[in-house]
Amino acid sequence: MLNKTLQHKNIILASGSPRRQQFFKEMDLNFTIQLKEVAEIYPDHLKAEEITNFLAELKANTFENELKENDILVTSDTIVWLNEKALGKPRDYDDAFAMLQEIANQTHEVITSVCLKTMQTTETFHCVTKVTFSSLADTHIRYYLDKYAPFDKAGSYGIQDWIGLIGISKIEGSYTNVVGLPTEMLFQKLMRYV
């Protein structure tokens, strides 16, 4: 449906995430992938969705003055927010292990911001989902890290992975947001470009 509805638009996804790319395919979108290196550094005073909004816009701004008339650029950023602290992608195995220990027996927020940029406009929106983990034994964490290597994921886990099946006891909000993109919100926003 979106493919036909937006046939006169050129959708550009600026993300190397296989999960986001798969969502775009499943949403029936014709799109191209364009990647640019961006240092994902944000000011220390930012909190929660302020961080993801800033980073999604930072990624979009690298395309400034490059977009053509029918282009719609889509950038995004996801963090895990726990105890007033952002958990992004882990630096290494030990960092991932520490993150998973920290989120065990806790409820955290997964926050994703999406920036839609055209020649004329820039719009940023965000989605928050609450995720509750049950207890995680150290042996389970090691098994997950060794087998699934979730080092490209915020908070060091994928809800769709083994750890999500055995460790997540409750979710409040958008499932696709936790995977990495709030597809239902994105669909509604893209429909405005028809």
Which entry of 28, 71, 77, 161 is annotated as an active-site residue?
Answer: 77
Q: Is 71 a catalytic residue?
A: no
CA-based nearest residue to 98, from 133, 167, 145:
145
Taking the C-alpha atoms of residue 175 and residue 170, their distance in angstroms, rounded to an integer, is: 11
- Segments in 7-78 forming alpha helices (H): 18-26, 49-61
Cα–Cα dist 152/150, whole Å? 6
DSSP 8-state class, residue 11:
E
Only one residue has tokens 């994928």, namely 158
155 within 8 A of 95, measured Cβ to Cβ: no
Distance of alpha carbon 76 from alpha carbon 182, whole angstroms:
10
> Annotated catalytic sites, by residue?
77
